[in-house]
Structure 1
């Protein structure tokens, strides 16, 4: 079995466990008034688990390859892959998670998107900056104002000065 199918099999197992958790255990601790809401905290994990299971099955069956034979991963040429970019992105994700509370959502998310796109090779600043900043504000607005979930928008020292 090819490497992509082994990875899909592992992801299928993870998605099944994640889906079981989302469908059967997350909703048990909900308060009674939340049970009447149309969207529960487990709604997005349920959708993600179903999509993950479907994508894993598609890869396991081989439907994504179609009629053409897409090249398999060549184990003899593993040095040709971009490990540096992948490791830098993983490190950036860790830094982002650590900076989210003290630096605030707006600055850390915009920084993550800008630095992440630089790592991946984007050099068009006139496109990258407006997209990163508008996406950051859109996500913050949706989570903060629409879903009413508080996310610290600014660094801790600024919110302490303003009393927020």
Structure 2
């Protein structure tokens, strides 16, 4: 029954979604909110559970041969995971703008994008649009870090 890697991953994801749902039901409710703060976590938990069940049932690669993952692809996944970890560690210290621009630059360059002018323009533009949208339009304050705004 658990012959494929996809089915094993589906079971692990289902267990993670159950734990996630348990924790999201522990969030406090606010009396005057139309949509409470726990709506998104609960929705994501149920979505993850449903998708993991679908992965277990459908199992699209059951008839195919075992796919080989190349060593350089594994190293790239580990490198991107490491960059995400560094991003999380530096998020509060340096602030959203600086860390996000650096993350987008380094990750895009590492993944093979070579046009520096476009890369810099998109990284800075996207980050600033997000920052000002969250801070001034939605009034959800992101860490400013070293920057004065």
> Could you say whether these structures have the same fold, taking a TM-score greater than 0.5 normalized by the shorter chain as the test?
yes
Assess, with a 3 A threshold, how the Cα gap between structure 1 residues 47 and 72 changes in structure 2: closer, same or farther: farther
Task: Look up the SS of the partner of 1:58 in the other structure.
Answer: helix
2:43 maps to 47
Q: Which of 100, 105, 124 is the matching residue for 2:96?
A: 105
Write 1 or 2 for the structure with the bigger share of helix.
1
- Mapped to 2, the partners of 1:87 and 1:59 lie a distance apart of 24
1:15 maps to 17
Q: Which runs of 5+ in 2 are unaligned?
A: none
Assess, with a 3 A threshold, how the Cα gap between structure 1 residues 40 and 71 changes in structure 2: closer, same or farther: same
Q: Which runs of 5+ in 1 are unaligned?
A: none
- Mapped to 2, the partners of 1:25 and 1:90 lie a distance apart of 29
Deviation at residue 20 of structure 1 after TM alignment: 2.3
- More deviation, 118-127/43-52: 118-127
After superposition, the C-alpha distances for 1:79-108 in whole angstroms (9 at most, x for unaligned) are 446111111111111211121122110110
Task: Look up the SS of the partner of 1:5 in the other structure.
Answer: helix
- Mapped to 1, the partners of 2:126 and 2:63 lie a distance apart of 34
Matches within 5 A, 1:144-159: 144-155=135-146, 158-159=147-148
Matches within 5 A, 1:1-164: 1-22=3-24, 24-27=25-28, 30=29, 34-62=30-58, 65=60, 71-74=64-67, 77-80=68-71, 82-155=73-146, 158-159=147-148
- Mapped to 2, the partners of 1:12 and 1:126 lie a distance apart of 43
Q: Is the 8 A contact 1:5 1:60 kept in 2?
A: yes
* Residues paired across the two proteins, number: 147
- Mapped to 1, the partners of 2:63 and 2:32 lie a distance apart of 48
User: What TM-score results when the alignment is normalised by the length of structure 1?
Assistant: 0.73
Q: Where do 4+ consecutive residues of structure 1 move more than 6 Å?
A: none
